[in-house]
Amino acid sequence: MSTYNTTKFEQGLESLNLSLSAGQMDQFMLYYELLIEKNKVMNLTGITEFDEVIEKHFLDSLSLVKAVDLKGSESVLDVGTGAGFPGIPLKIVFPDLKVVLLDSLNKRISFLNEVIEALYLDNISAVHGRAEDFARDVKYRESFDFCVSRAVSNLSSLAEYCLPYVNHGGCFVSYKSGKIEEELETAKKAVFVLGGKLEKVEKFELGDAERSILVIRKERGTPKMFPRKAGLPTKEPIC
């Protein structure tokens, strides 16, 4: 494994009140190397320069701690995880978490399994499938303390994909850009219908980017009709 200047990463972690052991830092560096190597043969990320990956993938994933306390939580589902963000960074920093990574592209799942094996992560699985389908499986429905997503879908659609997985009292956490007011207003009905309530919007700057973490608390069970069949939450969001 190559040697990297991790000063920027360490400063970012300190700003989040996080610290890593030497072993955890090595896991992140190996994750970076695996990501860049696999990216040569499949499209995982358009961001490949080391400091940019640190900021825009690793630290952005971990910025969830600005809005919620993961200590004492048991389970996290990452919907539309892609190359493993935010699920794998969260698992590295909070190794006691049970993490499920869900993605619809099997090639990405194969990559994630390589990462899990190479980093010696346990109590984490990568699952191939659509969010609409797995949300009807009793093994997954309303079974997670947190459902997180950095996917770029609108909040109404994401709420329909994610809230069915959250247990009563748990949270759906959405990573968004800084300008979120209009999207929040549009998603109000969907969040309510699906059993949630907006609890917090945490805004911050990450490098030169404005970011928001939205925390939606699950207050009631999600009606059985949701999520609707594949494609509908995106094509016809609740409004």
**Helices 22-39 and 106-118, packing angle to 10 deg:** 150
Q: What is the mean pLDDT of residues 99-104?
A: 97
> CATH: 3.40.190.10, 3.30.1390.20, 3.40.50.1220, 3.40.50.150. Which one for 7-235?
3.40.50.150
pLDDT tens per residue, range 113-125: 999 999 999 999 9
- Per-residue model confidence (pLDDT) at position 18: 97
- Residue 1 pLDDT > 80, yes or no? no
What's the pLDDT tens digit per position in 137-182?
Answer: 999 999 999 999 998 889 999 999 999 999 999 999 999 998 899 9
Q: What is the pLDDT of residues 4-50, one digit of tens each?
A: 999 999 999 999 999 999 999 999 999 999 999 999 999 999 999 99
Q: Are strands 209-218 and 166-177 parallel, antiparallel or unpaired?
A: antiparallel
Cα separation, 47 vs 45, whole angstroms: 5
Amino acid letter for position 49: E
**Statement: residue 71 has pLDDT above 90:** no
Global pTM value: 0.96
Coil/strand/helix, residue 49: coil
Task: Give the H/E segment covering residue 223.
Answer: none
- Residue 229: CA count within 13 A, CB half-sphere: 0
107: Cβ contacts below 8 Å, ≥ 6 apart: 42
- Joined tokens for residue 52: 């940019």
Percent of the chain with pLDDT over 90: 94
Strand, helix or coil for residue 210 = strand
pLDDT (0 to 100) of residue 72: 82
Amino acid found at 195: G
Rounded to the nearest integer, the mean pLDDT of the chain is 96
Residue 179: its H or E element: none
- Sequence-distant (6+) residues with CB within 8 A of 65 are 16, 17, 18
Distances (CA, A) of 91 to 10, 31, 124: 18, 12, 8
Between 225 and 1, name the one with better pLDDT. 225
User: Closest Cα partner for 176 from 145, 207, 147, 153?
Assistant: 153
Contact by Cβ (8 Å): 66, 16: yes
Q: Which of the four pLDDT bands, split at 50, 70 and 90, describes residue 2?
A: confident
How does pLDDT run across 211-234, given as a tens digit for each residue? 999 999 999 999 999 999 988 999
